[in-house]
Amino acid sequence: MPARPSFRLPGRRPGTRVLVATALAMLGLAAMAPPRGAPVAAQGDLIAYTMVAQWPQRDSAAQGLLQSPSDLDVARDGRVYIADPGIGGVHTLLPSGAFTTPFGVAGGFPAQLGQVGPIAIGPGPLPGGGPIMPFGPERVYVLDTAVERVVMYDLDGRYLGQWEKVNASGIAASGDGRVYVLDRDTSQVRALDAATGQEKFVFGMRGTDDGQFANFTDVDVSADGRVLAVGDKRGQRVQLWDLATDAQLAEPNPPPAAKLRVAYDLRDARYTQQGNTCDGTRVNALGGDKVFVGEALGACIVDRKTVAFAIAASANSGSICRDTVKLPRHKGMTQQYYALAVNDPNAGKCGAKRADLDTTPIIVKYDDEALKNVNTVWEASSNENSDNPILFAPETISMPQPGVVFIADASSQMRFFSVDGTQLATAQRSSQAGNFTSDFEFFFLIRADGADVLGEVFGYYLKGRRTGQTFTAEGGIGRFKTVEKRTQTGVEKVIEPVWTDALISSFQQIEVPALAWNPVSRELLVVRNDTVAQQRTQDVKIVRYTPDGRKAGASFDLPDDAKSNPYVDMTVAADGRIFALDDLEDEVRIYQPDGTHVTDVPVAFDARAVAGGPVSPDGSVFVLREPGSIERYADDGRITARLDGRPLSFSDPTTLTDLVVDAGGRVYVSDGQSSLISVFESTPDPDAIPIPNDAECLFRGQAAADPARLNVGQATTVSLRLDGKCGINEDPTDIVVVVPYFRRLEQGVDPSAAYVTEMTLLMSRLNFGKHRAGIVSYWNTTTTELPLTGDRQTYIEAVRDITRFDPPNENVKSQLKDGLEEAAKLFTGSDGRRKVIVVLRDEYCTPGNELFPGQCTGVKPAEDTALAIRNSGVTIVVVNGFGGFDLASSDEDALYGVENVHRRMVRYAPPPLMATDIALTHAVPGNFTVDAGSISGGGTWNAPQIAWAVPAMDYNGLTASAALRPTQGGTWPVGSAITASFVDGWGKRQDVVFPIPQVEVIGPTATPVPPTATATPVPPTATPSPTVVPSATATPTPTIVRAYLPWLSNNLCVPAKPRFDVALVVDVSSSMAGEKIEAARASLRVFLDVVGLAPGGDHVAVVDFASDATVRQGLTADRAALTAAIDGLATRQGTRIDLGLAAAQAVLTGPAARETAGQVIVLLSDGQQTGGPASALAAGEAARAAGIDVYTIGFGADADAPTLTAVAGDPARFFLAPAAADLAAVYTRIAASIPGCP
């Protein structure tokens, strides 16, 4: 099956020069040619976001609509299956000619595909088991390239199962129960068991020799299952392999699982006839030495003796031309031959047809393997010709008007939507007259934004005209509308300028990396990078236009170094403020609508897009990072929120393309892979888990009792769930860029300017605080331009000063081999770090890929050198190469576009597991019994605890449950403590305290006891009085008479315990931010000065709480460890006093607690318990019932003094600190009184 679909999934937005060069290349014309400290967020101190909407709906809208078909296969009953990444799933064409609703498009994981790749139809297991038979029930095997898996469906599109960890570029299924996949990581062919997905065998290795593989294109297996055809070397070679049977492999002396039968080098002259060359990008194994290769003009039937070009040059009365026939599929066992094509009803011969009438995609059934005779034609629909085309691979998103979302995608139209996803209008992106084989003219918008009128756009345009051999081009800024133009065949929509400002004609002097409409100032803002080539200087500024095209006033100058343009994105917030992302300084520069500079906000080193939100203390800067997460920043650079912008939980995060924030703070995120827009807003849900910091994990424990109201003796099931999220991490990496010498300046103009730009962009998002970069240049000699450095500026300066050399004659050849050897030397001292060589724009060729005889004479072969370097553990990435792609470490590492290289240089990912070595314990109160047989997941009951020992937890979380029976009426917590202790995915020990649910038990109660102070909180006074305890009877309360007795003290105090275990419990809710948290840290350090810290003396633990509770430091006498825990306290949302108390109780009754020590909790809070005081009162009572002395401190005017007094159980143990200045004295007093002395 074919390689990964070719449509672009934008990562970094290409620069204007890249887009212009690409456009001109299509016409056959050459284009004229120490890091800042990372922003930080305290663990857990992040606003959580939740998805509230997603649009557009895609499955039914895409029925029979071919957007970007990438593969085709056929079932025995004649159903045709078409993989279409553009609609996100697989089409089914019935023999009747009707299309069904595509499958794999919706339904959620695992049935929904992240990214549809190649497909194969083949037999699967029988319903009752048994061996797979060639004519058994068929299934559809689909490569999901986003999730790296194989997904199986039945022929009706119903999900059957999946095989994980398959990163492949092609798939084929044979009748003997095998599925073959082309492994992109290892350049090997893997044979999988069709019943289980287990690997049967693997063969091949990376290389260019026959019997090796490099840059896979396609795979197919013959009808008898005995010959496998593999296309590689980017379609320049097809190899046929003889396959051993399972019976043969089971013999005592088995043959090789796969043996090379023949290799067809399609560069050989015999594969080129009349200007057409056989193409190995598509292969169909026909059995023996025979193979059908290629498609369209490159389709051939090949064996050892003959080469015959296939596909009729013109078929179906001239309406099907050979050059439109794609994705041929041969099913030899059933003599079925199908392909996709285009029905072109226009007059003229193939290759010279008129363009008056619309063309239509079709599925063609042929009668013969050469695809000469058409049997049946079925029509499909084209998204390009649709009156209401579906959104396809969105690239940019903005809000040019309140309530209006503008999206430019990879199709020929741009779209306006309402915020709920209703399409409001469209605008054409391009128009063309004539065809590229004769005189023509075209108009294309490189980038655009919506205007103040629905359906109209502002844009940076490119237009060109060719008349005979003369070509003219123009680029500039303008406003455009879509009009209907009547033609011979009806009405056609075309783009028409309202006004234009022609800027350039050579595309060297001015670059436009971004533009945006400002609805507040009513100005079009254009980021312009003006270059003075002879001076090798640049000036970046924002140019302003009025809606009618006049210059609106002075430009805004953007800071730059006059050497390169650092700005990769610009956006306008709903209030008119302007946000510009500086990719080199890692800052977002904010301006008022009139250009007044507001501030510069430091952001992540790998930010690639920016959006501006409403003004808020939590910040208005939102950036999309290279790995796909979205971060929100306060003006001082603090990260205040991080969200997962993926449309689906299993989506590839790197395919998110852009974002915009509306006036209400909602975040709209576009995904180029799924073609979905996801809408997020902040959530007050205390249980929502935000995306953690890099290399950190966050967890939440949840507990529930069902039923919550029951009779004595009945059972309630206590269900526990542990969930978490882990941030990504990057392994420290050393990267050496290998680049040819720069050419000398020509009258001040730098012919290597593109190299400078690409090398700068290559490292613009590298974290130089963790990684290092070096440079080696080469031609006939080599130069180490830069040893490995961790300083970005040093790297940039070295790029601008690379050795310049012009070869004196054509016999002085470039020697990439020497450059690679020199680069490998730079890794001395790189032990323990990943090592990567990036080969940029290689000047390398071999006799096998030279464009003319003798071109590569004198070039040293580099294959063996590259192999030795790869075998030493170095990854080789080849980008924008000529002949060096086969030297790359894998097919994934051979690519075009520097915007895609970062993801191969730096491997960022979450940990493979969420947590390991998990000990989950549930301490059960004495008034419950446990049904031991009900304990789930291998848990054990050893009174008073239920314990679960779990080796590992994946990203689905952990659940456990047990049935408890109350023995006493009343309202009771179902546990005295529920905790989980584990090592998180990044190797850090964590403890999570679960909230403890309560149940109401109906039935006999224990002997009545008088209510205590916890039932009716007593507000503190300046001089606390003894608590009045009411009588249990109806007798009137007697009058209390105070009697004063003489007392003499000799200052001698005998403590109740010789030593104490103290848990310092600190409220870190958001109201504690600023001066309060600083005062708390300082006062806790004073507390440590007063208590008797010593191995045999007092031990202290530190616990904080907000919406959850975390043990920051367990019991210890280590002053340094305690100080570090105190200094690390940071605020987050919520006030769960009950969880803080439960966590402290777990510490004081846990394994580190000492039987000979007294237990003390000192709790500080400045607010009120989330959800009311009942759970806090219950937690305080539980702690006191466990023998723990509880002291509470109310900090500030908003502290809930009655509740804190009741939690302490004694007004004498409640203290009030009205201001920060009072807090240290309170802690000192408590520390002095803990031994029991006043």
The predicted pLDDT at position 1057 comes to 57
Instruction: Give the closest residue to 1170 by CA, choosing from 1198, 1133, 1201, 1130.
Output: 1133
* Residue 757 reports pLDDT greater than 70: yes
The predicted pLDDT at position 438 comes to 65
Sheet holding 237-243, edge to edge: 218-221, 227-232, 237-243, 258-265
Identify the three-state secondary structure at position 1186: coil
pLDDT tens-place string over residues 174-187: 999 999 999 999 99
With 0-12 CB in 10 A as exposed, 13-18 as middle and 19+ as buried, what is 808?
exposed
Where do the structural domains in the chain lie, given as residue ranges?
63-166, 210-350, 396-682, 698-729+911-1002, 733-891, 1059-1233
Cα–Cα distance between 536 and 750 in angstroms, integer?
Answer: 7
The predicted pLDDT at position 1047 comes to 39
* Residue 733 reports pLDDT greater than 50: yes
Residues 6+ apart with CB under 8 A from 1007: none
Cα–Cα distance between 143 and 120 in angstroms, integer?
Answer: 9
Distances (CA, A) of 412 to 115, 455, 658: 22, 14, 19
The predicted pLDDT at position 129 comes to 73
At 825, list the tokens: 């030397």
Q: Specify the DSSP class assigned to residue 1082.
A: H
- Which has more confidence, 1185 or 545? 545
Percent of the chain topping pLDDT 70: 89
Instruction: Give the closest residue to 947 by CA, choosing from 1181, 716, 720.
Output: 720
* Residue 393 reports pLDDT greater than 90: no
- What average pLDDT does this structure show over 1096-1110? 91
Cα–Cα distance between 712 and 1081 in angstroms, integer?
Answer: 47
Cα–Cα distance between 224 and 216 in angstroms, integer?
Answer: 23
pLDDT tens-place string over residues 412-434: 889 999 999 999 999 998 877 66
Give the architecture (CATH level 2) of 63-166: Beta Barrel (2.40)
**Torsion angle of the four alpha carbons 272, 338, 70, 112, in this order, in degrees rounded to the nearest 10:** -160
Question: Lowest-pLDDT range, 407-421, 760-774, 1009-1023, 1191-1205?
Answer: 1009-1023
Interior/surface letters 564-596, b for 16+ CB within 10 angstroms, e for the rest: bbbbbbbbbbbebbbbbbbbbbbbbbbbebebe
Distances (CA, A) of 98 to 93, 207, 909, 983: 6, 45, 43, 55
Distances (CA, A) of 1125 to 315, 833, 947, 1132: 78, 30, 28, 16
β-sheet bridge partners, residue 530: 510, 539
Instruction: Give the closest residue to 910 by CA, choosing from 629, 1203, 507, 1212.
Output: 629
What are φ and ψ of residue 379, in 5° steps? -90, 145
Instruction: Give the closest residue to 723 by CA, choosing from 756, 690, 695, 755.
Output: 690
The predicted pLDDT at position 31 comes to 33
Mean residue pLDDT across the chain: 87
Determine the topology of domain 396-682 in CATH: Neuraminidase (2.120.10)
The predicted pLDDT at position 745 comes to 79
User: Where does the pLDDT of residue 534 fall: very low under 50, low under 70, confident under 90, or very high at 90 and above?
Assistant: low
The predicted pLDDT at position 1058 comes to 67
Does CATH number 3.40.50.410 belong to domain 1059-1233? Answer: yes
- What average pLDDT does this structure show over 782-809? 94
- 863-871 vs 816-825: helix crossing angle, rounded to 10: 20
pLDDT tens-place string over residues 1032-1059: 444 444 444 444 334 333 333 444 456 8
pLDDT tens-place string over residues 851-900: 788 888 999 999 999 999 999 999 999 999 878 999 999 998 999 888 88
pLDDT tens-place string over residues 210-258: 999 999 999 999 999 999 999 999 899 999 999 999 999 999 999 999 9
The predicted pLDDT at position 294 comes to 96
Question: Lowest-pLDDT range, 40-44, 340-344, 355-359?
Answer: 40-44
* Residue 1130 reports pLDDT greater than 50: yes
The predicted pLDDT at position 1099 comes to 94
At 566, list the tokens: 């650092």
Percent of the chain topping pLDDT 90: 62
CB 1217 within 8 A of CB 1021: no
CB 1069 within 8 A of CB 1132: yes
The predicted pLDDT at position 440 comes to 76
* Residue 537 reports pLDDT greater than 70: no
Class of domain 733-891: alpha beta
**Torsion angle of the four alpha carbons 639, 645, 650, 652, in this order, in degrees rounded to the nearest 10:** -90
Give the architecture (CATH level 2) of 698-729+911-1002: Sandwich (2.60)
